[in-house]
Amino acid sequence: MCPAESTEERVRKQFQEKWKEYNAHDRTLDALAAFRFILEYIDEIRDETIKFDFRPRIAPQTPDLKPYTPDGVIWQRPCCSFLLELKTSWNKDDVDQVMKYAKGQGYLQADGSLKAFAEKHCLLLGYQDPPGEPNLDKLFTEWERGGLTFPLVVFRYSLEFAPEGDRVFFSRIPFERNGLCPPSALGKAMNSARGCSVKADNFRFVKSKFHKANDQVVDSYGAVMWWTKYAIHYLTEDQRAEMAANGRLSSPLVIPVAQLDQVPSPGEVEVPLTAKDVKRALEFLRQAGLVVLKKLAGCYQVKLKGDRYVRFPHGTTLVEVSGQQEIAAKIITRWATNKIKHPLPEPHKKARKPLIRSGKRRDTSTLPLFPDIGR
């Protein structure tokens, strides 16, 4: 009989799982920042680029109503366009999602008008962990069955470490059914058998424009991002002065639940957190013991303090980090520890009222047809 896991081991596993998810999301933002750097700072590609958007809305196909939201759309001279979607690893829903994006009617501009994709169009689909051949076969079989006339190009993206500097590397997956990008400067770089790369030192200053991938931030990353980038924008001038002087607020920062949709967005951010992201972030911080949800008052109370004042739980030896990831490790360690040792109740969800079927509902608004029967 196997011995029962210790509490410390359960905490460690909880931390490692969430830490892996956090870093995977961080890699996705690295890749988005690298694409942004390529489009704006690599002369050959910049000169051919007409427009790009890393928060696009794509007109849906019938019967869908909401616009599709891939991670990016790019137009290049003379007649090329790219739809970009980045993923961590294979998911069973990827085939359906990719086909929906591919069959989108075009790009929805700010004024609501529709901009058609270019004559030479391409869907760029990136994975950190490349799908195996069986999954790629499923994807390309459905693509061919859909009768699409433009290519699907699946590539891998990764952060590679080297003595001369870290870099994000893009490489087309060598799968016989994989497509080829249109022959623009960007397309040639993505088609290259050697792949292409961007130094981390080059794209890191661009990364501040991306606080999430387009659809949704993972809760751990959203929590750290909110704590380090957004929280200060909720403060009054007096509260900011107190934080600067003491490194913490003497009383909690109060955020009413009804006002969660009022998210102060830091300037020059292309893909900021939304109200939905902020709610998930605050729930993560609540489990980490940095936020309290007062149900009767209908508000979150944030025990705001400077990053260096946030401590690892007593006796923790889970991770050795420094610099930018230290606050992330602290918050995720606190979350994992509380999740195992002091779990908090999940937020209460209002029960839906049961629907009354019209066929079973008694009509009392009209007189009976034969009033004397049964008397």
Q: Is the pLDDT of residue 281 over 50?
A: yes
Express as a percent the part of the chain with pLDDT over 70. Answer: 89
* Mean pLDDT across 244-265: 93
Residues 6+ apart with CB under 8 A from 173: 127, 130, 136, 154, 155, 156
Q: Is the pLDDT of residue 170 over 90?
A: yes
Contact 27, 159 (CB under 8 A): yes
* Mean pLDDT across 278-300: 94
Q: Is the pLDDT of residue 358 over 60?
A: no
In angstroms, the CA 63 to CA 60 distance is 8
Assign residue 268 a region: left if phi > 0, alpha if psi is -120 to 50, beta otherwise? left
- What tens digit of pLDDT does each residue of 51-80 get? 999 999 999 988 888 999 999 999 999 899
Between 36 and 313, the more confident residue is 36
* Mean pLDDT across 347-363: 51
Q: Is the pLDDT of residue 362 over 50?
A: no
Confidence label for 319 from pLDDT (cuts 50, 70 and 90): low
Confidence label for 321 from pLDDT (cuts 50, 70 and 90): low
DSSP 164: T
* pLDDT score recorded for residue 361: 43
Q: Is the pLDDT of residue 373 over 50?
A: no
| Closest-CA residue to 196 (of 18, 374, 39, 26) | 39
Task: Please compute Rg for the chain using Cα positions.
Answer: 25
For the ranges 42-46, 178-182, 340-344, which has the lowest average pLDDT? 340-344
* pLDDT score recorded for residue 163: 82
Confidence label for 365 from pLDDT (cuts 50, 70 and 90): very low
Domains of the chain, start order: 27-207 (3.40.1350), 219-341 (no CATH)
In angstroms, the CA 47 to CA 344 distance is 54
* pLDDT score recorded for residue 349: 57
* Mean pLDDT across 209-232: 93
Q: Is the pLDDT of residue 351 over 70?
A: no
In angstroms, the CA 87 to CA 89 distance is 6
* pLDDT score recorded for residue 64: 86
In angstroms, the CA 225 to CA 230 distance is 7
Contact 32, 213 (CB under 8 A): yes
* pLDDT score recorded for residue 201: 93
Q: What angle do CA 366, 368, 353 make, to 5 degrees?
A: 55
Residues 6+ apart with CB under 8 A from 142: 95, 99
Between 344 and 361, the more confident residue is 344
| Closest-CA residue to 122 (of 63, 191, 209, 53) | 191
* pLDDT score recorded for residue 70: 96
Written as one letter, the residue type at 124 is: L
Confidence label for 265 from pLDDT (cuts 50, 70 and 90): confident
How high is the mean pLDDT of the chain?
89
- What tens digit of pLDDT does each residue of 128-157 get? 999 999 999 999 999 999 999 999 999 999
In angstroms, the CA 349 to CA 147 distance is 44
| Chain centre distance of CA 200 | 20
Contact 103, 146 (CB under 8 A): yes
Q: Is the pLDDT of residue 320 over 70?
A: no
